C-alpha cells in the first residue's frame, strides 16, 4: 500500500478509496491526490497487469 506523495517507482496504481482511478507512474514520480470528484483518496495499491 502506498500513500499520496510516495514515490513507489514505475507501475500502475489504483486508488483504494474509489477503486475507479487508475494511474501510471514513472520512476521517481510522486503519487498524486486522487482526481476522482469527491474522492480525494490518498491510499493506493499497485496493480499488476498479469
Site residues (vs Zn ion, CB under 5 A):
15, 17-18, 21, 34, 36, 39, 41
Our CB check for Zn ion shows the closer of 11 and 16 to be: 16
- Write down the least CB distance from residue 11 to Zn ion, Å: 17
> Please, which residue, 38 or 50, has the CB nearer to Zn ion?
38
Nearer to Zn ion, 11 or 21 (CB): 21
Q: What is the CA radius of gyration of the chain?
A: 10
Buried-state track 1-34, b at ≥16 Cβ within 10 A, e below 16: ebeeeeebeeeebbbeeeeebebebeeeeebeeb
Amino acid at each position: 500500500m502506498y500513500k499520496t506523495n510516495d514515490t513507489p517507482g514505475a507501475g500502475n496504481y489504483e486508488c483504494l478509496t474509489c477503486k475507479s482511478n487508475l494511474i501510471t507512474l514513472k520512476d521517481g514520480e510522486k503519487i498524486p491526490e486522487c482526481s476522482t470528484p469527491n474522492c480525494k483518496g490518498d491510499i493506493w495499491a499497485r496493480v499488476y497487469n498479469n
